Each structure stands twice: as C-alpha cells, then as structure tokens.
Structure 1
Amino acid sequence: MGSIPFDHRRAWLTADATSDLSRRGFMVTSLAVGFAAAAQPVMAQAVTTNGEGLIAGEVAVPVAGGVMPAYQAYPATGSGPFPTVIVVQEIFGVHEYIKDVCRRLAKLGYYAVTGELYARQGDVSKLTDIKEIFAKVVSKVPDEQVISDIDSLVDFARSSGKADITRLGITGFCWGGRATWLYAAHNSKVRAAVAWYGMVDPPMWNEKAISVFQLLPKLKVPVLGLYGAKDTSIPVAHVETLKAELAGTSSEIVIYPDVGHAFHADYRPSYDRNAAEDGWHRLQDWFKKFGVA
C-alpha cells in the first residue's frame, strides 16, 4: 500500500509541532493481542464478532516520523469502495474491543480502520493501573499528534482502494470520544461523527487542553454525542450545557438517564445493553442521515 507523504500544511499543526512529532521514536510497533491488562477481568457478555465474510487484520500506517500499527476491516465481497469509518480507541488503546467494533462496522458494509494513537509514547495494554496509564502515556500524547495521525488513517484508507472517503465518518469511545470531537472540528470533509462519552471539559490528564465548548465555533460536522447521566468523570450538568449550546444546529446530544461511563464497552462491568444497543442504532441512523452509509 505504498508510502503516503505527510502533509505539512495540515491546519492543526505548526511547523514546530510537526518537527517535534518527526523526532519522536515509536515505542509500539504492533497491536495488543486480546484485551488490555487494566480492563481485566473480561466480562462474560463481551461481544465477539467473527471475521467471516470480511478482510480484517493488522496493517502498518505511515504517519509523521514513522509507522503506526493499525487495524482494518471491510467486506470480502463486492469491489468497493466502501463508505469509511475511522474508529478511535478508548483509553486502553487498540485492543480486542476496538478491533471488534471495526469488524461490526465492516459487517454493516463499511471500511473501518483504527490506529494505535499512543504508538510514540508507550504500550498501555500491559499496564494494570489506570492512574499509571494516565501518568506514563496518555498525559504525554498531544492533541496535535492525535489529529495528525487520524489524518494519516484517512490517507491510508484512501490509498487502500477499498475506502470511499467522500463518505467519511468517525466514531470514538471515552478518550476517543473526545478525539472524535477534536477531529470533527478539524476536518470539515467528515460527513458525520459519533462521540461516545467523550470528555467535554479539559481532560483530567491535561487541564490546559482545549474543551469541546471551545471547538464549537469551528464545528461544521454534525456530531452525535452519547452520554450517561451517571458518568462520574463527565459532569452531566456540563453535558446538559453542551446540549443547550448545540440546540438548533445539526449536532445532537443524547443523555441516557440511568447509565454511567463506558456503557458501550461490553467486556466491562459498566456495560449497559439497552443504552449500548440504542446508541449503536443511533450511530447507524446518524451515518445514513448525513450520507456516510
């Protein structure tokens, strides 16, 4: 799939930031096998989507300064190109759950791709303590790098010959939910975005980082935000404020009254089947409504 040139004109990167990204080494060169250590034990209700009828597996994506391990999935039948969804990892990186989400989307007829966006900073899959994950890795991942690497995932999808990036969507969970908001504000060519419980305030790992509220003036992409009213890490009052600010726009906020954080994560105790299935149906309808599907 050939080398893809990095575009130094990308709006979110200054020349200094791009140079800094290029100087960094890569600490992760392949994806985790199974589920992240900090997410153990895996609950019995964890969804497993088989690869029957799919082309699915690990790939290498050229990014600024090196190569990022990634995972793609798309239908084995039909010549494509298929509508494209970028899947953004949760706090635990690209482990089995995120790969499975890609396969679920591929079963629906999408080309789905996700990348290990912590590749330069470290492998969180083997860390057992969430505070250690924040301190050792997540706090060191700049937003500029995240945006740049998602750009590279889009470039990779384009080069595959299997992805129609004129029908581009993005979805992400937890840490990736916030990144979904960031990317929706960055790339106006995204047709629709679905952010699952992404932090609306500056995140706890970087209190100086931009908030979702600060992104709203430049937001041209319709975003569906899915949140739980009992999420102890995202104050529901702030989500209600965001909902009010988005009233009258193409974006929408849904707040599930009886669930907390990570309600879609079927391998964790936080999973809520009703909210997760409702959110998944809403995602499909959202992508259809705005021309991704």
Structure 2
Amino acid sequence: DEIRKVVATVPDAQVLSDLDATIAWASQSAKGDSRRVAITGFCWGGRITWLYAAHNPNLKAGVAWYGRLVGNTTDLTPKHPVDVAAALKVPVLGLYGGKDTGIPLDTVEQMRDRLKPSSSQSEIIVYPEAPHAFFADYRPSYRETEAKDGWKRLQAWFQQHGV
C-alpha cells in the first residue's frame, strides 16, 4: 500500500518521459532492439500502456490489462485513455473483466467507440466473469482460465505486430 502513495504523486508526463529514457538507454546500450519495443501493464500500468502508446508512435504494440480508461483531469493526470483513443496509431489490446467494480463496462464500451476512428486496429476483450486483477495469481481475484487466455493473447498480439 505504500507504493500507491508514491505512484499517486507522479505526473503522467514524468512516467512517459521515464519510459522514453528507458527505451533510449536500451537502444544506446545495445541491450535492446528499439525497433521491436512493446509495452504491457496491469491496473495503473494498464492505463499507462494506453497513454504511452499514444505518446510514442514508434512502439510496435501494447497490451493493457484492466487499466482505468476514464477519470478526473488533474495536473498529474491531464488525459485519460478515452481522450487519446481516436488518435492512437499503435495497436493496443485491452484485457478487461466484466465483473470489475472499478472499471464499469460502460467505460470499456466508451473506449471501444473512441477507438473506431483510429488507425491503430486496437481491440478490447472482456472476460464476462472476471473481476479486476484477474491475472494476479497472489490475490483472491485471480482467475486461472482468463489469466492464461490473456497471456496467450498477449503473446500472439506481440508476435502479430512484430515484437
């Protein structure tokens, strides 16, 4: 719970900049192939996955696991995934739980609608019986079937998009 307090104080702009710096370091150090960069994230990281895919059009793909799609606009969080969806160029696969009490299905549908005019070919999968954090095998919310299916979809998505 301590990490939540820290994460809540970090501006999105800093997170996106930190990710840019990480990719630059990997590229310059020859420890990574900057032509095959992808991103995935869970919960808070799922939201960042959508935002970073909009920020960095050089990504090959992204997979967002139950990342919040809407929210209040603040200095720390000036935009949310629904705000950047229409302009998205990077293909992002969104994996969501139909029983997620923190991410209402109407916001998932709103995101789907906002993605339609984009050229990203992004997709959203909803697992009807899954709650939030269905991939977290250390929590009661873990759902093995959905988690394994999501992982297979992540691997196929990244392969399909050249990662």
TM-score by length of 2: 0.90
* Residue 150 (structure 1) aligned with residue 25 (structure 2): no
Identity of aligned residues (%): 52
Who is 2:110 aligned against? 241
Shift of residue 268 of structure 1? 1.1
Residue of structure 2 in register with 1:170 after alignment:
39
Structure-2 separation of matches of 1:247 and 1:140: 32
Aligned to 2:67: 198
- The residue matched to 2:63 in structure 1 has which SS? strand
CA deviation profile, 1:158-209 (whole Å, cap 9, x unmatched): 1332311101111001000000011000000001000000000026998963
What amino acid sits opposite 2:24 in the alignment?
D
Give the counterpart of 2:147 among 262, 273, 276.
Answer: 276
Is the CA contact 1:168–1:192 (under 8 Å) kept in the aligned structure 2?
Answer: yes
Task: Report the counterpart of residue 91 of structure 2 in structure 1.
Answer: 222
Offset at 1:267? 1.1
For these two proteins, the number of residue pairs brought into alignment is: 161
Structure showing the higher helix proportion among its residues: 2
Amino acid at match of 2:147: A
What stretches of structure 1 of length at least 5 have no aligned partner?
A: 1-37, 39-122, 125-132
Q: Larger deviation: 273-282 or 155-164?
A: 155-164
Task: Give 1:281's aligned amino acid.
Answer: K
User: The residue matched to 1:224 in structure 2 has which SS?
Assistant: strand
Over aligned residue pairs, what C-alpha RMSD do you find? Answer: 2.1
Q: Distance in 2 between matches of 1:175 and 1:257?
A: 21
Higher strand share: 1
Residues 196 and 206 (structure 1), Cα distance of their counterparts in 2 relative to 1, 3 Å cut: farther
- Are positions 1:258 and 2:132 aligned together? no
Counterpart of 1:202, as a letter, is G
Q: Residue by residue, what CA displacement relative to the aligned partner does 1:18-77 show, whole Å, maximum 9, x if unpaired? A: xxxxxxxxxxxxxxxxxxxx4xxxxxxxxxxxxxxxxxxxxxxxxxxxxxxxxxxxxxxx
Secondary structure in 1 matching 2:37: strand
Q: 3-state SS of the aligned residue for 1:167?
A: coil
SS of the residue aligned with 1:178?
helix
| Residue deviations 1:111-138 (CA, integer Å, cap 9, x gap) | xxxxxxxxxxxx62xxxxxxxx3xx323
Change (3 A) 1:203 1:230: farther
TM (normalized to structure 1)? 0.51
Q: Which residue number in structure 2 is paired with residue 287 of structure 1?
A: 158
Give the drift of 1:224.
0.3
Is contact 1:228–1:258 with CA below 8 Å preserved after alignment?
Answer: yes
Unaligned regions of 5+ residues in structure 2, if any? none
Deviation at 1:213, TM superposition (A): 1.2
Which digits, 9 at most, give the CA deviation of each residue in 1:69-110, with x for residues without a partner? Answer: xxxxxxxxxxxxxxxxxxxxxxxxxxxxxxxxxxxxxxxxxx
Q: Any idea what SS the aligned residue of 1:264 has?
A: coil
Shift of 1:241: 2.2
- Alignment check: 8 A CA contact 2:9 2:76 kept: no
How far apart, in 1, do the equivalents of 2:23 and 2:134 lie?
A: 27
Matching of residue 139 in structure 1 with residue 8 in structure 2: yes
Bigger radius of gyration: 1
Q: Distance in 1 between matches of 2:14 and 2:94?
A: 23
8 A contact 1:202–1:209 mirrored in 2 = no
Letter in 1 for 2:58: K
**1:153 and 1:180, CA in 2 relative to 1: closer, same or farther beyond 3 A?**
same
